[in-house]
């Protein structure tokens, strides 16, 4: 959970920076505004991100069921 002050992005430079972040919304629909959150607290759980190679290895060794 991120808590902080929301700020509407209006400067062209800020908007271009936001677009290059490659962050995508979870919900479909029109997105007319870009905002930035200036955090004052961050809480929650931490997740360790697995290396991409571990995903490929687990797929090769995974047990498969028959096609029946």
Identify the pLDDT of residue 10. Answer: 94
Q: What is the mean pLDDT of residues 21-45?
A: 88
Is the pLDDT reported for residue 13 higher than 80? yes
Spatial neighbors of 40 by CB under 8 A, at least 6 apart, are 3, 4, 5
pLDDT more than 70, % of the chain: 78
Query: What's the pLDDT tens digit per position in 35-63?
Result: 999 999 999 988 888 777 776 655 555 55
In terms of pLDDT, which residue wins out, 6 or 63? Answer: 6
pLDDT of 37: 93
> How long, in residues, is the chain?
68
């Amino acid at each position: 959970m991120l808590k902080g002050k929301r700020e509407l992005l209006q400067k062209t430079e800020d908007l271009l920076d936001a677009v290059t972040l490659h962050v995508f919304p979870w919900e479909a629909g029109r997105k007319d505004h870009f905002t930035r959150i200036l955090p004052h607290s961050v809480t929650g759980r931490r997740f360790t991100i697995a290396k991409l190679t571990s995903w490929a290895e687990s797929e090769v060794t995974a047990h498969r069921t028959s096609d029946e």
